Amino acid sequence: MPLPGGLWWLLCCRRGFTLLHRDYGDGELSGDGDEDEDEETFELRTPSPAGGGRGPLDVTLTQPVRSAQVSDRLQSWEETRSLIPEKGPPEEDPDVVVKGWLYGEPRGGGARPWLPPRRAWFVLTRDSLDQFSSSGKGARRLRSLVLTSLCSVTGPERRPKETGLWSVTVSGRKHSVRLCSPRQAEAERWGLALREVIASKAPLETPTQLLLRDIQESCGDPEAVALIYRRNPILRHTSGALYAPLLPLPYGVSAPGPGYAPLREEAVRLFLALQALEGARRPGPLMQGVLQTCRDLPALRDELFLQLAKQTSGPAGPPGPPATQDPAALRYWQLLTCMSCTFRPGGAVRGHLLGHLERTEQALPDTELAEYARFIRKALGRTRGRELVPSLAEISALSQRQELLCTVHCPGAGACPVAIDSHTTAGEVARELVGRLGLARSRNAFALYEQRGAQERALAGGTLVADVLTRFENLAVEEAGLDDSPDSGWRLCLRLHGPLHPEGLSPDGHELPFLFEQEPGGGTPQKLCLGLGAKAMSFSRPGETEPIHSVSYGHVAACQLMGPHTLALRVGESQLVLQSPQVEEIMQLVNAYLPNPSPERPCSSPSPPCQDLPDTSPPSQHPGLDEPQGQSGCLGQLQD
């Protein structure tokens, strides 16, 4: 017997409302907490301890996109019951960590700060943070935040807000929840409990990490690796945007320093900067900006390595040529070269990157891409921590896989060009110059100094010269708007370092000018005695009759009076500054023995510069200056 029309309509409507309530009612009443949980499950997966028997080619994952909710997403009765919005706070639930009355920021409160916080009942469990309208059994759930290992907690602050409330903020993927309390102890208790729950969560893996594991397991089968790339566009070159990071980055973590967004947003911005390289007229500053971001935010270094591995893969999967035939597409390889000379990738990322480079070399031999791959592989084996990012000159050299030329000033030899790379240290440069100048058998030690006018500082042997050149470039940019003085530029110099051993110096050797290049604090004896003879002048220590060194007058270019107690002797390309109350007598004797004596005048030559030094030496204890072998106490210093 057919049912009456009214009764049939009632049964259909009841059945339909039941399905609607089961599938969609929870999303409308409980806010976007469950929707976030579903999207969270889609994007991130908890690694199975046993592996689940998943084969290396069973994963087919793409960039996460927005998808409609599926009606059969919840199958078990327990899951369906847990999402019923009318369910009140659990009574004596063992999973409850902490619960209580707090002030919560209303929805949209971040965009509307004038809205006052509302008092609500919060319950923290091992899986989520739930907000209810009251503490009763039938209270309505207002919103829920699923807690994962990527959630972050900030606060409470040292001082309360203007409202007098201490706040703790929990950040999730889609939204954050701010908990406020009038008592600081209670806010700290909630913050500690939230951090403990998040720390107890198993680490989550992104689809990219799962694919990297599959590629590592199939590294011995090129066809299997190629199949993984073909099935998963997330691993291949793309001209579209990236909507989520390739690696798991914490939600809501603010980056240090002004001008930086949260880490996940900065990761997306980095990918946009990579795509902008293809059409940039001056890629150097853009590359330097990307490298500086990775230096300031270490969590993004592995992310950028993976993004560059993705963009250097062909559109059909690696190994393959760039996406276009435009030479600008090679800038991904150039930036990857700079990255490999600046930072060290993590373990899993390093293994994937080395495999990507090896596959490129094997599939594209005798090509420019293979040359870049070989250069990067060698750089990864030598790179250690950099203090600064590469300079523009270094970026230009690395883009061409060439060495960088730097200039080192050596006394008596002038400017010496030295070829360096991103891994060359100051000790290696000093040893090369010592060998080039024939000073390898010298008893004296030499070191590289950075000098600016009268300022100079010794560089440690392990200091990277590339970092020093970057510092010089940064200082020049900072002082670009100022009036530069003649001594405002920084430069590298080779100096004597440590105890001085002046015995056995050759008058015609390159080691003599180093004797007078020491500053007052350079660790060498500055107070010397000057002896003037008919053919040469000698230097000896106070109280000793045997000279430690002699200079013939033929090597003295000029003798000039710089002040009432300062005399300048030009020896070769260097200048010896003598300080003594008897400089006039010394100058008269020296000019008398010089082949072409110079007139008495203040030193006005702009190169090399001279500085008036205070008279710190006592009067000479040897008054016999008029005699040919007389000596005079003096303080000597040689400057370029």
Residue type, 541: R
Q: What is the mean pLDDT of residues 277-299?
A: 92
Q: Under a CB-based contact definition with an 8 Å cutoff, are residues 291 and 389 in contact?
A: yes
pLDDT digits (tens, 9 = 90+) for 200-259: 999 999 999 999 999 999 888 889 998 999 999 999 988 888 999 999 999 987 767 678
Flag whether 418 is in a domain: yes
Q: Under a CB-based contact definition with an 8 Å cutoff, are residues 237 and 311 in contact?
A: yes
- Reported confidence tier of residue 274, pLDDT bands at 50, 70, 90: very high
Query: How far is the C-alpha of 330 from the C-alpha of 277, rounded, in Å?
Result: 10
> With 60 as the cut, is the pLDDT of residue 627 above it?
no
225 and 326: one domain?
Answer: yes
Residue 326, both tokens? 């435009």
Which of 150, 183, 199 terminates a domain? The answer is: 199
> With 50 as the cut, is the pLDDT of residue 620 above it?
no
Task: Give residues with Cβ within 8 angstroms of 607, minimum separation 6.
Answer: none
456 and 368: one domain?
Answer: no
Query: How far is the C-alpha of 330 from the C-alpha of 314, rounded, in Å?
Result: 12
> With 60 as the cut, is the pLDDT of residue 269 above it?
yes
Q: What pLDDT is attached to residue 103?
A: 87
Flag whether 423 is in a domain: yes
Question: Which CATH number is 217's domain given?
Answer: 1.25.40.530
Q: What is the domain range of residue 277?
A: 207-383
Query: How far is the C-alpha of 361 from the C-alpha of 312, rounded, in Å?
Result: 13
Q: What pLDDT is attached to residue 613?
A: 31
> With 60 as the cut, is the pLDDT of residue 482 above it?
no
Residue-wise burial string across 206-228, b where 16 or more C-beta atoms lie within 10 A, e elsewhere: bbbbbbbbbbeebbeeeebbbeb
Q: Under a CB-based contact definition with an 8 Å cutoff, are residues 232 and 59 in contact?
A: yes
Pairwise pLDDT comparison (633 vs 202), residue with the higher score: 202
311 and 360: one domain?
Answer: yes
Query: How far is the C-alpha of 280 from the C-alpha of 230, rounded, in Å?
Result: 30
Q: What is the pTM of this model?
A: 0.67
39 and 144: one domain?
Answer: yes
- Reported confidence tier of residue 522, pLDDT bands at 50, 70, 90: very low
509 and 532: one domain?
Answer: no
Q: What is the mean pLDDT of residues 402-426?
A: 89
Q: Under a CB-based contact definition with an 8 Å cutoff, are residues 530 and 586 in contact?
A: yes
> With 80 as the cut, is the pLDDT of residue 323 above it?
no
Residue 536, both tokens? 């040469």
106 and 124: one domain?
Answer: yes
Query: How far is the C-alpha of 332 from the C-alpha of 506, rounded, in Å?
Result: 54
125 and 42: one domain?
Answer: yes
Which of 165, 199, 233 terminates a domain? The answer is: 199
> With 80 as the cut, is the pLDDT of residue 78 above it?
no
Q: What is the mean pLDDT of residues 30-46?
A: 42
Report the sign of the C-alpha dihedral through residues 158, 260, 212, 45, in that order.
positive
Q: What pLDDT is attached to residue 53?
A: 46
Pairwise pLDDT comparison (627 vs 348), residue with the higher score: 348
552 and 582: one domain?
Answer: yes
320 and 425: one domain?
Answer: no
369 and 447: one domain?
Answer: no
What average pLDDT does the structure give for the chain? 74
3-state helix, strand, coil in the chain (%, to 5): 35, 20, 45
435 and 367: one domain?
Answer: no
Pairwise pLDDT comparison (556 vs 346), residue with the higher score: 346
Question: Which CATH number is 413's domain given?
Answer: 3.10.20.90
- Reported confidence tier of residue 502, pLDDT bands at 50, 70, 90: low
* Alpha helices per DSSP H over 200-239: 207-217, 222-231
Query: How far is the C-alpha of 87 from the C-alpha of 80, rounded, in Å?
Result: 11
> With 60 as the cut, is the pLDDT of residue 595 above it?
yes
pLDDT digits (tens, 9 = 90+) for 365-389: 888 899 999 999 999 999 988 999 9
Pairing of strands 491-496, 404-410: parallel
If one counts the domains in the chain, the total is 4
Residue 350, both tokens? 């390093």
Flag whether 547 is in a domain: yes
186 and 214: one domain?
Answer: no
Q: What pLDDT is attached to residue 149?
A: 93
Q: Tell the residue number behind the tokens 């040529």, with chain if given.
A: 321
Question: Which CATH number is 548's domain given?
Answer: 2.30.29.30
> With 90 as the cut, is the pLDDT of residue 621 above it?
no
pLDDT digits (tens, 9 = 90+) for 98-123: 999 988 776 544 445 556 778 889 99
